[in-house]
Amino acid sequence: MTDVSRLPGAAVHHWQWQLRAACRDLGPGRFYHPAGERGPEREDRDAAAKRVCAVCPVRAACLEHALRTKEPFGVWGGLTEEERRALLGRRSASARGVPAAAGGGR
């Protein structure tokens, strides 16, 4: 579940970046996998989502939002949920002074 306590609040300026997102009118199907999707189908869907993210003018803001709220599903800012978890793990290990290899990073 998304950690809503980390959301910035209702002030419009916190959410303005979403209006410029490349995915804004594409619908969620490309960015969120259906239950049980595995293998080549999931890899293809993730790759298609990442192609949209690659040209998005607000990719950094999107990724930062997903990391800050610990968004558990979908492709956000060009990273899958697994990639975001790994990145958060590396950040956490680094903050604790643990070398990247010991912290579970790639």
Are the C-beta atoms of 43 and 80 separated by less than 8 Å? Answer: no
Are the C-beta atoms of 68 and 6 separated by less than 8 Å? Answer: yes
Tell whether 53 is in a known binding site: yes
Tell whether 59 is in a known binding site: no
CA distance 73 to 81: 6
Tell whether 62 is in a known binding site: yes
Which residues are part of a known binding site for [4Fe-4S] cluster? 23, 53, 56, 62
